[in-house]
Chains A and B, each alone.
Chain A
Amino acid sequence: MTQISKKVEQLAPSGIRAFFDLILGMKDVISLGVGEPDFATPWHIREKAIFSLEQGYTSYTSNKGMLELRKEIASFLRQRYAMNYDPNEEILITVGVSEGLDLVMRAILNPGDKVLVPEPVYVSYRPVVELAGGTPIILETNIANGFKLTPQQIDQACGEDAKGAKALMINYPCNPTGTSYTRQELEAIGRVAKKHHLLIISDEIYDELTYDFDHVPLASLAGMKDRVIYFNGFSKAYAMTGFRIGWVSGPAAVVAAMTKIHQYTMLCAPIMGQMAAQEALKSGFKSVQEMKREYFRRRNYIVGALNALGLECHMPQGAFYVFPSIQKTGKTSMAFAQDLLKQKKVALVPGVAFGKSCDDYVRISYASAYESLKEAISRIGSYLETS
Chain B
Amino acid sequence: MDEILEILAGDARISASEIAKMTGKSLDSVKRAIQKYEKNGTILKYKTVINHDMIPGNGSLVRALIEVSVAPQKDVGFDYVAERVYSFPEVKSCYLVSGTYDLLLVVEGDNIHTVANFVASKLSPMENVRGTTTHFLLKKYKEDGQILKKQPSLKRLNISY
Residues of A within 8 A of B (CB): 20, 23-24, 26, 29, 31, 33-36, 38-40, 122-124, 175, 293, 297-298, 300-301, 304-305, 347, 349, 353, 370
Task: Please state if A34 and B7 are interface contacts (CB–CB under 8 Å).
Answer: no
Identity of the chain B residue whose Cβ is nearest the Cβ of A98 in the assembled complex: B161
B156 touches A20 (CB 8 A): no
Question: For window 1-29 of chain B, which residues contact chain A by CB distance below 8 Å?
Answer: 3, 6-7, 11, 14, 18, 21-24
Residues of A within 8 A of B24 (CB): 300
Nearest 3 A-B pairs (CB), nearest first?
A33-B159, A297-B22, A31-B158
Decide if B157 is an interface residue (CB 8 Å cutoff): yes
Give bound CA distance, A38 to B18, whole Å.
Answer: 21
CA distance A52 to B158 in the complex (A): 30
Chain B residue, CB-CB nearest to A122: B161
The answer to whether A31 and B159 have CB atoms under 8 Å apart is yes
| A13 and B24 alpha carbons, distance in the complex (Å) | 39
> Cα distance A135–B14 when bound, in Å?
51
Q: Which residues of B contact A122 (CB under 8 A)?
A: 161
B154: interface (CB < 8 Å): yes
Q: A122-B161, A349-B161, A353-B161 known; A38 and B156 CB under 8 Å?
A: yes
Report A-chain residues with C-beta under 8 Å of the C-beta of B23. 297, 300
A122 to B161, CA, bound (A): 8
The distance from the CB of A23 to the nearest CB of chain B, in whole angstroms, is 5
A40 — nearest CB in chain B belongs to which residue?
B154
Give 15 pairs: A residue, B residue, CB < 8 Å, sorted on A. Answer: A20-B159, A23-B159, A24-B159, A33-B160, A34-B156, A34-B160, A35-B161, A38-B156, A297-B23, A301-B21, A301-B22, A305-B21, A347-B158, A347-B159, A349-B159
Are A34 and B159 interface neighbours, CB within 8 A? yes
Contact across chains for A38 and B154 when beta carbons are under 8 A apart: yes
A123 near B159 with CB under 8 A, answer no
Contacts known (A297-B23, A301-B21); A24 close to B157, Cβ less than 8 A: yes
Residue from B3, B6, B14, B158 in contact with A34 in the complex, judged by beta carbons closer than 8 Å = B158
Give Cα A133 to B159, complex, Å: 30
- Residue in A closest to B24 when the chains form the complex, CB atoms: A300
Residue of A nearest to B11 (CB): A370
In the assembled complex, the CB of A69 is this many whole angstroms from the nearest CB of chain B, namely: 26
In angstroms, Cα B159 to Cα A123, docked, is: 14
Chain A neighbourhood of B22, CB < 8 A: 297-298, 300-301
Residues of B within 8 A of A (CB): 3, 6-7, 11, 14, 18, 21-24, 154, 156-161
**Closest chain B residue to A242 by CB distance?**
B155
Are the CB atoms of A300 and B21 closer together than 8 Å?
Answer: yes
Min distance, Cβ A370 to any Cβ of chain B, angstroms = 8
Contact between B18 and A301, CB atoms less than 8 A apart: yes
Most buried by A among B3, B21, B24, B159: B159
Complex-state Cα separation, A290 to B14, whole angstroms: 19
A175 touches B161 (CB 8 A): yes
Min CB gap A49→B, angstroms: 16
Contact partner of B161 (CB less than 8 A), chosen from A38, A39, A123, is: A123
Interface centre among B6, B22, B158 (most CB of A within 10 A): B158
Least CB distance, A343 to chain B, in whole angstroms = 17
Extra 17 A-B pairs, beta carbons < 8 Å, given A297-B7, A370-B11: A20-B159, A24-B159, A26-B158, A29-B158, A31-B158, A31-B159, A34-B157, A39-B154, A40-B154, A175-B161, A297-B22, A300-B22, A301-B21, A301-B22, A349-B161, A353-B161, A370-B14
Residue of A nearest to B22 (CB): A297
Distance (whole angstroms) from the CB of B29 to the closest CB of chain A: 15
- CB of A298 to closest CB in B, whole Å: 7
Q: Which residues of A sit under 8 angstroms from B158, Cβ to Cβ? A: 23-24, 26, 29, 31, 33-34, 347
Chain B residue at smallest Cβ distance from A305: B21
* Whole-angstrom CA separation of A300 from B30 in the bound complex: 15
Smallest CB-CB separation from B159: which chain A residue? A33
Report the bound CA distance from A297 to B30 in whole Å: 14
**Distance, CA A227 to CA B21, complexed state (A):** 42
- Quick one: closest B residue to A32, CB to CB? B159
Judge whether A304 and B21 touch: CB under 8 Å: yes
Which residue of chain B has its CB nearest to the CB of A29?
A: B158
Q: How far is the CB of A383 from chain B (nearest CB, A)?
A: 18
Q: Which residue of B has the minimal Cβ distance to A369? A: B154
CB-nearest residue of chain B relative to A337?
B159
Q: Which residues of A contact B160 (CB under 8 A)?
A: 33-36
Query: What residue of chain A has the Cβ atom nearest to residue B158's Cβ?
Result: A31
Cβ of B75 to closest chain A Cβ, rounded Å? 43
- Closest Cβ–Cβ distance, residue B12 to chain A (whole Å): 13
B106 to chain A, nearest CB (A): 26
Q: How far is the CA of A305 from the CA of B158 in the complex (A)?
A: 22
Query: Which residues of chain B are within 8 angstroms of A293 by Cβ–Cβ distance?
Result: 3, 6
C-alpha spacing A300/B160, complex, angstroms: 23
